[in-house]
Chains A and B, each alone.
Chain A
Amino acid sequence: MPEANPPVDNPPVGRAQLAAATRAQFTRPPRSLWNDAWRRFRRHRMAVAGTVVFLGLVLFVTCGPLLARNDPRAIDFSKSMLAPSRAHPMGTDDLGRDMLARVMLGGRISLAVGVASMLIAITLGTLVGALAGFAGGRVDSILMRLTDLFLALPVVPLLLLLIFLFRDALRRAFGPETGIFILIVSVIGLLNWMTVARLVRSSFLALKQKEFVEAAHALGIGEARIMVRHILPNALGPIIVAATLGVGAAIITESVLSFLGLGFPPDTPTWGRLLFDGQNFLDLAPWMVLWPGFLIFLTVLSINYVGDGLRDALDPRSRR
């Protein structure tokens, strides 16, 4: 179990200036958890590379469509399944649409779904896990059985039911695209918090026995404050990693939803959808499958590296 550093309040002064100002002195600058973490993160070269790649991907899908020459929805059978070329750097699909333009358009939604549903899963999971781990006893028991329940639920019928209950209402309230976005993001979030909850719970169980928590108790600090100010920052490592990993998982989950007809309208080319639709063309026009697959892979990978760097950075035991 990681040795926990009791959190120290950040000085309000800019860290870089402070560091520069104190370098000449014998006393080291006051080190905080965050300060240390950032320093370790920067040294983690692949984590930095992952961050760069991920930001590049975000740039690619947000600004790319503005620069693209081809319309992602323009159907032209005379250009069906062209191999990558100057005019179509990623080739075209069976309806003659430009793959590059489609991949950029789809990436926006895939990445947005990934980030948003991860936030939901993390929030829910942390809440349940923290409560169960900290309170223990009956609360813990009930919350963990709830987690069992969610783990045992059959997903497909549940999805059918959720979509059936809420699709129309959300479509009416927020319009087709946003409504379905909200629905999908919350469905993915709702079905994925269990592992985070278990993770956070086990961290809390271990941390609440630690000396610094006892010290905080002895000082008369309230339970809620101990949870939020003292234990949570020390349990952040696994949470952040879970979060970064969750983004990739959500992108893949969205593709499964699209496949079941439960996702976005069929003309929205999310990466997952492109991958599923292209699979039969694997031996006919491999670029239809390889590009979306590669981009999902790249996203998942870069985010994993970022998560890894963050985990190492936040783990005080790390020797880096």
Chain B
Amino acid sequence: MIRCYPALDAGPFDPVWRVVRARWMVVRQEVALNHRLLWSWLAALLALSMVLAACGSAPPAQAPTTAPATTAPATTAPAPTTAAAATAAPAPTEAPAARPGRGAGDTLRLLYWQAPTILNNHLAFGTKDIEASRLILEPLAAVDPEGNFVPLLAEEIPTVANGGVAQDFTSITWKLRKDIKWSDGSDFTAADVVFTYQYCADSKTACTSVAAFRGIKSVEALDEYTVKITWEAPNSYPYQVFTSQRGAIIQRAQFEQCVGDAASTAADCQAANLAPIGTGPYKVTEFKPGDVVVYEINERYRDPERPFFKRVELKGGGDAPSAARAVLQAGEVDWAWNLQVEAAVLQQLASQGGQGNLVTYNTANVERLLINFTNPDPALGEERGQLSQPHPFLTDLKVRQALALAIDRKAIAEQLYGPAGYPTCVLLWYPPFAQSVADIFTDCDQDVAAANRLLDEAGWQPGPDGIRVKDGKRLSMLFQTSVNTLRQKTQELIKANWAAIGVETELKSVDGSVFFGSDPGNPDNIGHFFADIQMYTTGATEPDPTAHLCGWISSAASQKENEWRGTNNMRWQNAGYDALCDQLRNELDPDRRVAIARQMDALIVSDVAMIPLVARPRVAGASKDLKGYNPSGWDAELWDIANWYK
């Protein structure tokens, strides 16, 4: 007797063997064999292709035109990004007079292809959790798409001018609104803000937002509605605490017993993590972790006219292409998050689907190539990737310049990313550093001839196989990135570009959870960087670029000694850049800060430590009748959901 399992599907137990079993099941079976059978197969195949042809009757969208976007790709008004200049600019949402009041709308359907698993912002394990929690939990201030702070739970944005920020930048004092109620009816006070800090200050709580609280000496309630945050050293960016994505305030009464291990183990706290009490426009009525969140209006929300929708349903799961179909083609949802889909498919869906629009909004994200300045040769054993082992040829500036010159960034951005990418020569592509996307692609057009010239000058001569050699070293590189269709196609394009200048490239793709993981024993992650080139997207999460730019200083090199956890994983060593970082950290004048940041950016590009490829706005999909949305790249995209309407 054969023991086989009927094949249900291809899944983790099965992708590999259930299919196999299904086939081996036929082992003792007679399969009817004759000509009629073959013909019926062919007929079936024909029928299948006809169905497909019917489905795909639309002509392919050839020209990559800019898709309809409701928000401008880049704003022209320079936005203040730094401390003293931050103002309490009102959110620029259009609120027409005809806009109906609270609860006039029915259900708003949101689709996230990653499903939220927890609603406590501070324990969030991904952007989807932060977004889902934002309808309930709010920070003191939000950041609008232009990078301006918008007070939510605070009366105003503290500045040096209004005395809220200390002259020496060692403290900030927030004045809270006095009319805010939690959804259970109790008052929102300074005690809740202080408690939020205490909650995350205990490392056993395992807050994932803990980076925002670094360097804090104390958080104290001066009175019931005033909170003062003091740092151990002057902090040129004092707004990172209690604002934007990771600054949500949790209710002290609800979480008081949840500090430390109890945060995850105590039953009450587990329940609280899934249904936090908040100050936001909605409260949760039903939450199935990893699947769906259903919200209803928080009747105690401060604005009596908002929100418009009675009910919000945030569904999770699936993948980005099918989410794009749901909003653009089938019209099953009102909003779909992060449509990372190949340009050709996305444009076709947007232009032919007829049910929705693409919404792009700026972030600081740039897809870039990182160059390894140390030798990743496995033969080096323990010395692999150490600063003592310089890279055999990537330390040659001319080689790096040639690599950068050979890449056709325009083709990558236009053909692969489409509406979700602009070609860029720089990392800081958003105001106030750049005024429009035309400014960021100026002098880095592909120039194969110039690249070849550079290599010739540097003495790299083509060998018999066309690959350049010098002193017995071949220009042959390992290029790694995470598994993602767009990235794999970019890899292939760059490989072809480099082949044109006599550089050989071996491609490698690593599963995302491994590539972006931080476990010290995992040699395939970005921290170890055991390859010559790697590619991924990163960028500041706040309008201020200090944290991001200063991540690449020499002392932050990721090495065996720090268990490969340094942020400078390319191990670039540049004293001039380190000095600029020090300057940036100590400079308080906003204009000069912008100038220093641009200098740092220019140094990265001119020394070719990184090769910026594509500036990546985020792309969402909205149904045609949805209005009032104003997603921000500096905050959760649902930050102003109270203003959305139909």
Contact = CB atoms under 8 A, between A and B. Distances in A.
Interface string B12-47: 111111011101101110110110011001000100
B507 A80 contact: no
A192 B10 contact: no
A207 interface: no
Interface in B306-344: 321, 341-342, 344
A108 interface: no
A194 interface: yes
Given A80-B344, A94-B342, A156-B12, A238 B27 contact: yes
Given A265-B508, A280-B321, A305-B31, A95 B56 contact: no
Interface residues of A, number: 68
Contacts of A297: 45
Contacts of A168: 378, 523, 530
A79 to B, nearest CB: 11
Contact of B58 (A44, A94, A283, A309): A283
Nearest to B344: A94
B514 interface: yes
B60 interface: yes
Contact of A282 (B26, B31, B56, B415): B56
Interface in B572-600: none
Contacts of A159: 16
Interface in A261-320: 261-262, 265-267, 277, 280-286, 290, 294, 297, 300-301, 304-305, 308-309, 311-312
Contacts of A52: none
A199 B2 contact: yes
A194 B1 CA distance: 14
Interface string A167-210: 01000100010000000000010011011101100100000000
Nearest to A47: B33
A304 B485 contact: no
B53 to A, nearest CB: 7
Contacts of B415: 77, 80, 95
B171 to A, nearest CB: 47
B345 A284 contact: yes
A95 B492 contact: yes
Nearest to A254: B16
A81 B344 contact: yes
Nearest to B322: A280
A89 B23 CA distance: 31
A286 B50 CA distance: 10
Instruction: Please tell me the size bucket of the interface on B.
Output: 35 or more
A290 B530 CA distance: 38
Contact of B514 (A73, A160, A265): A160
Given A266-B509, A267-B507, A280-B341, A202 B1 contact: yes
B635 interface: no
A309 B30 CA distance: 10
Interface in A51-93: 73-75, 77, 80-81
Contacts of B56: 282-286
Given A196-B24, A246-B24, A256 B15 contact: yes
Contact of B16 (A47, A74, A191): A191
A245 interface: yes
Contact of B52 (A241, A282, A301, A311): A282
B33 A242 contact: no
A164 B525 CA distance: 11
Contacts of A266: 488, 491-492, 507-509
A261 B33 contact: no
A75 B492 contact: yes
A45 interface: yes
A277 B345 CA distance: 12
A226 interface: no
Given A77-B415, A95-B493, A282 B23 contact: no
A253 interface: yes
B562 interface: no
17 contacts: A46-B38, A95-B492, A155-B13, A192-B17, A195-B21, A198-B2, A199-B24, A202-B1, A241-B26, A257-B16, A266-B508, A267-B488, A284-B344, A286-B52, A294-B45, A297-B45, A308-B31
Interface of A: 44-47, 49, 73-75, 77, 80-81, 94-95, 154-156, 159-160, 164, 168, 172, 176, 188, 191-192, 194-196, 198-199, 202, 238, 241-242, 245-246, 248-250, 252-253, 256-257, 260-262, 265-267, 277, 280-286, 290, 294, 297, 300-301, 304-305, 308-309, 311-312
Given A46-B34, A46-B38, A290-B49, 19 more contacts: A45-B33, A46-B37, A77-B411, A95-B492, A156-B15, A160-B514, A168-B523, A172-B378, A242-B24, A249-B20, A252-B19, A253-B19, A253-B20, A256-B10, A260-B483, A285-B60, A286-B52, A297-B45, A300-B23
